[in-house]
Structure 1
Amino acid sequence: MGVQDDPQRPLSSDDLALIESVAEQVAESLEDARLFEQTQTALAEAEALYRISVALGAAQDYEAVLDALRAHTVLGRDAHNISLNFFDRPWVGDDMPEWSIPLARWSTLPSDAVSPRYSLRTFSAAALLRPDAPTIVADVETDPRLDDATRALYSQRFQAQSTIFVPLVVAGQWIGYVNAIYGAHTRFSEAQARRLMGIAGQAAVVVQNLHQLEMAQIGARHEQALREIAATVSASENLAASLPAIVEHLRQLVPLDVLTLATYTPGELEYTLLALGAETETGHFAQPGVRLPVEGTGPGWVIAHREPWLEEDIRKEMRFSEDDQLVAEGLVSRVLLPLLVGERVVGALNLASTQPGAFTQAHLSLLRQVAGQIAQALDRVRLLQETRSALAEAEATHRAYLRRSWRDYLRQQETLRRGAFLYDRTEGAAVLDGLTEPVADLWLPEMERALSTGVSAASGDGGDEGQRTGLAIPIVLRGQTIGVLGVEDPVGEHHWSEDDRAVIEAVSRQLAQALENARLLGETQLRAQRERIIGDITGKVRASMDLESILQTTVRELGVALGTDRAFIRLGANVKLSEE
C-alpha cells in the first residue's frame, strides 16, 4: 500500500500512523478473504471426496467403480476411453506382472480397437509406470519415453494425444491402474495428481474387495464344475457319449471352443481320436476313430513328454503338423494335457479356443484335475472291457464244456439221445395215465426253431379251428441250450398266453438245473466207481511178488472189471503181435 505526499505539505507522524493502520486492516481483510477462499475450496474438495467415497462405497461391481471415477474426478473430463485395469499378480519391485486385464471400460472407440488383456512385456514403456505417482504422457506423438509398440497402440488404435496412468495400491500391494485416454492434449496440475492418488487409494480397496469376492465366487463355481465333471466321469462307461456333458461343465472353468479326447496304447506310434466334444461351425479336421501319428503332432508331444503344452497364439509359431488346419478353423490358442495313470500315458486331452491367450496357468491347474479324472475313467473302462472279455471267454469255455459234457453223456445214454419223454392224453386218458416211456423221433417244428435260436418258439395262433398249436421253450443251462421243453394242442383249441409261457419258462429253468445236478451226480458216481475198480486192481497187482504173476493178475482183473472178451499185455518196444 503506498501514498504519495506533496513536498509542500509533507506527511505528519499522525498521517503515517493512519496509513499504517489502514494497511494493517487491508492486510487482515486480504488474509481473511484468502483463508475463506481456501476454506471454501477445501470444503468443496471435502464434499467431492465425500461424494466419491460414498459412490465407491456403494459400488457393487467394477463398472460402478469406473462410473464413480468418471463422474467425480478429472479422469472423466474429455476422455474418450477410461479403463480400470488389474494385474494378473501384484507388481512387486522389478518383478513385472505378465498381463494387464481390463476389469471395466468406458469408451467411444470401436470395439475391435481394444483387447481383453495386454502383455506388459510387449510394451517396454510399461516400465514407466510407478506405484507412488501418476504417470502422465502429455504428448503421445513426441514423448521420447515411449517405445514404438506403445506409441502405435495409443496413437493409432486408441487415437490418443495424451494419457494418464493412476496406480491402484492397497496395503502396499500394487494391483493395477486406472488409464484415461484423451483425443486432445491434456495437462494435469500437481494438485490434481495428488487428489487422484488419494481417490485411487480408496478405489483400490474397493477393487481389491470386489476381486476377492469374484475369486471366491469363481472358486465356488469351479469346485461345483469339478464335482459335476467327476460325477459324470465316474458314472460313465462310455466317455465318448458323456463328452458333451463334460464339455458343458468345462466351459464353467475355461473358454473352450473345441475339445478332443485321444487314447493311446503305450509303445504304439499312433494315437486314436476317441471323441470330439465340441467343434467350430466349419467342423474339425479330424473325426472320431481316426488314427494320427505321435511324432510331429501336439497330442503326440504331450504323450511323448508326459507334460502339458500351453500355447497363447498358435499363429506365432506353427510347430506341429495340425497347426495350419487349426488356424484355418479359427482356433488360435490351445492347451493339451497328457492323461496319466501313474507313469503310464493312456491318452491326451486337447482344448482349443478362437481367442488368443484364452488359457492361463491358472486354467492349467484346474485342467490337470479334470485330466486325472478322465485318465482314471479311461483306465477303468479298459479294465471293465478286459474283465467283460475275460468273463465272456470264460462263459464261452464253460458253455463249450457243458455242450461237450452233455454230448458225451447223451452218447452214453442211448435212450435219452434217440427219444423224448411224452405226456399224451389225447385219447381220453386220465391226467397221470398219459405219461409214457421215451418216444423215438418226437421232434415238432417249433422245437427245432427253439433249439436253433435259443429262444421260445410257437406254432399256430389258436384262431383257426383244427389247426394245431404248439409252444417250445429251450432248456438253457448257463447260456448253453441242452434240450427243448414243448407243449402241443393237436386240435388248436388252446391259445398260449403270456402266463402259459412264463410258467413253462420257469419250469424250463428249474429243469435245466435239475438235469445238470443229475448229470453231475452220475459223473461223480461213475468216477467213484472207476476209482474203486482201479483201487481193487492196483491192490491185487501189488500183492503179486513176481513179474509173471503181476502180468497175469493185471489182464485177468482188467478183463473181469470191464467185461471184455480178451485182455492182453505185451512187453517190448516196436514188436508186432503174432497171429496167435
Structure 2
Amino acid sequence: MENRTAQLQASAEVGRAAVSILNPDDLLRASVELITTRFGFYYAAVFTLDETGRWAVLREATGEAGRVLKERQHRLEVGGQSMVGFVTANRQPRVALDVGQDAVRFANPLLPDTRSEVTLPLIVGQRVLGALDVQSQQAAAFDEASVASLQSMADQIAIALFNAMQFSRAEAQTRAQRTLLDAALDLAGEADRATLFEKVGRYARQLTQAEGVNVYLPINENEIELVYSDDPIGRDYAGQRLRKGEGLSGRVMVSGQPQRVDDYATWAGQAAVYATAGFHAVLAVPMIWRGRAMGVLTLTHSQPDRFFSPDDENLIQLLAAQTAAALANADLAEQQRNTLEELHLINRRLTSEAWAGLLAQLPDDMRRVQYARHDLPVPDEVPPDVELATVEAQTVQWRKTDADATPWQSGLATPIMLRGEVIGALGVEDTRADRVWSEADRTLIQAVADEVAIAIDNARLIDQTERRAYRERLIADITRKMLAAGDLEGIAQVAGQEIARTLRIDRAQVQIGAPPDRPAPPDRPNGHGRHTDEEAAA
C-alpha cells in the first residue's frame, strides 16, 4: 500500500511538472529526477525521435551515466536491437524482468548494475514522440502495478512534451518570421553582391543552424559557379563550376524545385567533384525571381546526426526568394549605373567638343581675363597655379621662391569644370608674404568657379540659340524670296544672290543638272545649259 501511495504521489508530481513547465528540456529533466527519486530506481531516461524518425535520441537521463551518454549524443535505431528501438517501433511497453534473459535489450556498459528494465512509449494520438526507459538494480522490480503507474507518467510526459514542443515550435516560428522580416529589410537595398551574400549566409544560419552556406550563380547557358561560400568545406571549392543538371545544386537550378539530401556521401546523384567533400546533409533551394531561377542557395551539415527538416526547407525558400529579389535589384542598379556612366561620358565628350569649337572662335585676348589693383602689374604669362589647375583638374596652391621677380607672394587656383570636363581655371594671387590660404578660401573659390562654369555654359547655350534662330530666320527669308521668283532661273538667281550677300562672298554658283564636262545619263540631254530632270522628262 505504501509503495502504491508513493507511486501515486510521484505520478501527481509529474503531472504538476507537466502543466507548469513549458521548456521541453526542463520538463524532461524534472520528470526523470522525480521517477528515480520517488521510486528509488537506478536510472531513468527519455528518448525522442529525431526529424527523420529513424533514430531515438537521448534527451535527458539521470546520474553520471546519463551525463556521459548525453555528451556522446547517444541514440538508438528505431526498430533496432534495443528496448527503446522495439518500443518506438511497436508502440507498446516492454519489460525485462531479468535483463540477462532479454534478447532485444541493449547492454549499456555505463550501467553495469542493471537487473531489470521497463521501456514505455511516449504517444500522443497516433504519433510516437519517443520512449521512457527506467532501470532497476533489483530483478523483477517492475510488476503490473508499477508498469501501469509508469505508463501513466509516460502519458503525462508525452502530452506535456507535445505541448512544450508545440510551444517551442511556435516561439521558433515567431523568431523565424522576425528574422525573415529583418532579412527582407536588410537585403532589399543591398547593391553590393559580396555584402549581400554575407548577409544571406548570416540569416540562413540563424534560421536553420546550418554549418555551411553556399551560393551558385549561372555564368553561361550551361554552367553555374560557386560564387560565395561560408562553409568550412565549401571554401576549398570556391569558383567551382557545375554543369546545369550536375549534382544537387545543378539539378535544382534546372528543376526550379528545392531538394533535401540526408546523406550526400551515399546519394546517387552527387557531383563527382564533391564525392569526398565531407558533406553529410545538404539542402539546395532555387532563388526564383519572376519565374526564373537566378541561382541556387545551398546549405550543408557535416555532422552525421544533423539533418534539414521540411520547416528548414520552407524558411530557406522564403529567404531564397528575398535573395533573388535583391539580386534582381542589384542587377538593375548596376545597369542603371552603367547607363548613367555612359550618359556621363557622352555628356563629357559633347561638352568637350562644344567648348573646343567655342575656344577656337575666341580671340586670344578673350581667353584670359585678369583683374589687379591699379598699382600692380598684370603679367602677360599664365600664372603657374592656373595652368597646373587646368592640367591636374584639382585645386593647387603656390608660394613665391627667391628667384621669382613677380610681386605676387602666393596664389591659389581651382579648375572650372563643367560635366566633368575642365574648361578653364580661376586663380587668385596675393602680394602679402604672410597670406595663408584657409579651407574657407578654397571653398569660396571653388564655389565661385562652379558658378562661373554654369554662367559661361548658359551664355554659350544662349549664343547658340540666338545663332540658330538667326539661321532659321535667314533660311525662311531666302525661301520666301525664292518662292516669289516663280521660275527656275529666278529661283537659281535668288539663291545665288542671297548666299553671296549673306556670307559676304564675291561669287556664288548654282548648277542644275550634270556638270558640262560630265556625260549625261542615258535618255537625257547632254547637260549643257540649264536643263533639269523635269525638263528632260517633259
What band does the TM-score fall into relative to the shorter chain?
0.7 to 0.9
Deviation, structure 1 residue 415: 4.3
Change (3 A) 1:382 1:44: closer
Q: What are the residue-to-residue correspondences of 1:502-521 with 2, within 5 Å?
A: 502-521=443-462
Aligned to 2:489: 548
Change (3 A) 1:564 1:383: same
Aligned to 1:46: 8
Could you say what secondary structure the match of 1:403 adopts? Answer: helix
Q: What are the residue-to-residue correspondences of 1:392-411 with 2, within 5 Å?
A: 392-411=341-360
Counterpart selection for 1:71 from 22, 33, 37: 37
Could you say what secondary structure the match of 1:567 adopts? Answer: coil
CA distance in 2, matches of 1:42, 1:163: 19
Q: Would the aligned equivalents of 2:36 and 2:42 in 1 still touch at CA under 8 Å?
A: no
Could you say what secondary structure the match of 1:284 adopts? Answer: helix
CA distance in 1, matches of 2:35, 2:147: 14
Deviations 1:65-91 (A, max 9, x none): 232233335xx7334x622325659xx
Aligned to 2:45: 82
Q: Would the aligned equivalents of 1:297 and 1:320 in 2 still touch at CA under 8 Å?
A: yes
Aligned to 2:282: 334
For structure 1, the residue ranges without an aligned partner over 5 or more in a row are 1-37, 90-96
Could you say what secondary structure the match of 1:285 adopts? Answer: helix
Once the two structures are overlaid, the 10-residue window that deviates more, 403-412 or 482-491, is 482-491
Aligned to 2:195: 241
CA distance in 2, matches of 1:535, 1:157: 111
Could you say what secondary structure the match of 2:208 adopts? Answer: coil
1:279 equivalenced with 2:214 (yes/no): no
1:135 equivalenced with 2:94 (yes/no): yes
Aligned to 2:523: none
The amino acid across from 1:284 in the alignment is: R
Q: Would the aligned equivalents of 1:113 and 1:158 in 2 still touch at CA under 8 Å?
A: no
The amino acid across from 2:354 in the alignment is: S
Q: Would the aligned equivalents of 2:17 and 2:27 in 1 still touch at CA under 8 Å?
A: no
The amino acid across from 1:388 in the alignment is: R
* TM-score normalized by the length of structure 1: 0.76
Could you say what secondary structure the match of 2:312 adopts? Answer: helix
Q: Would the aligned equivalents of 1:258 and 1:352 in 2 still touch at CA under 8 Å?
A: yes
Give the CA RMSD over aligned residues: 3.7
Once the two structures are overlaid, the 10-residue window that deviates more, 164-173 or 180-189, is 180-189
Change (3 A) 1:363 1:177: same
Aligned to 1:371: 320
Counterpart selection for 2:370 from 422, 442, 458: 422
CA distance in 1, matches of 2:211, 2:369: 70
Could you say what secondary structure the match of 1:346 adopts? Answer: strand
Deviation, structure 1 residue 509: 0.9
Deviation, structure 1 residue 122: 7.7
Counterpart selection for 2:146 from 192, 196, 208: 192
Change (3 A) 1:123 1:555: farther
Change (3 A) 1:475 1:171: same
Aligned to 1:304: 254
Could you say what secondary structure the match of 1:384 adopts? Answer: helix
Aligned to 2:178: 224
Q: Would the aligned equivalents of 1:87 and 1:176 in 2 still touch at CA under 8 Å?
A: no
Change (3 A) 1:143 1:300: same
Deviation, structure 1 residue 120: 4.0
Q: Say which structure, 1 or 2, has more relative contact order (CA 8 Å, 6+ apart).
A: 2
CA distance in 1, matches of 2:183, 2:98: 53
Aligned to 2:535: none
Aligned to 1:103: 59
Deviation, structure 1 residue 187: 6.6
Q: Would the aligned equivalents of 1:163 and 1:181 in 2 still touch at CA under 8 Å?
A: yes
Counterpart selection for 1:260 from 193, 214, 218: 214
The amino acid across from 1:298 in the alignment is: L
Aligned to 1:480: 421
Deviations 1:37-70 (A, max 9, x none): x5x5654443443444445455543222232233
Deviation, structure 1 residue 255: 2.2
User: What percent of counterpart residues are identical?
Assistant: 25
CA distance in 2, matches of 1:353, 1:179: 30
Counterpart selection for 1:320 from 271, 295, 303: 271
Could you say what secondary structure the match of 1:70 adopts? Answer: helix
1:500 equivalenced with 2:441 (yes/no): yes
Q: What are the residue-to-residue correspondences of 1:6-17 with 2, within 5 Å?
A: none
Could you say what secondary structure the match of 1:241 adopts? Answer: helix
1:537 equivalenced with 2:478 (yes/no): yes
Change (3 A) 1:50 1:245: same
The amino acid across from 1:458 in the alignment is: Q
Count of aligned pairs between the two proteins: 506
Q: Would the aligned equivalents of 1:131 and 1:174 in 2 still touch at CA under 8 Å?
A: no
Q: Would the aligned equivalents of 1:559 and 1:566 in 2 still touch at CA under 8 Å?
A: yes
Higher Cα Rg, which structure: 1
For structure 2, the residue ranges without an aligned partner over 5 or more in a row are 519-526, 528-538
Aligned to 1:459: 398
Q: Would the aligned equivalents of 1:237 and 1:381 in 2 still touch at CA under 8 Å?
A: yes
Deviations 1:309-348 (A, max 9, x none): 3221222236113323521xxx322212221112222222
Q: Would the aligned equivalents of 1:135 and 1:165 in 2 still touch at CA under 8 Å?
A: yes
Change (3 A) 1:172 1:481: same
CA distance in 1, matches of 2:33, 2:385: 86
Aligned to 2:522: none
The amino acid across from 2:48 in the alignment is: N
Counterpart selection for 1:269 from 210, 222, 246: 222
Deviation, structure 1 residue 391: 0.5
Deviation, structure 1 residue 236: 2.4
Could you say what secondary structure the match of 1:322 adopts? Answer: helix
Aligned to 2:524: none
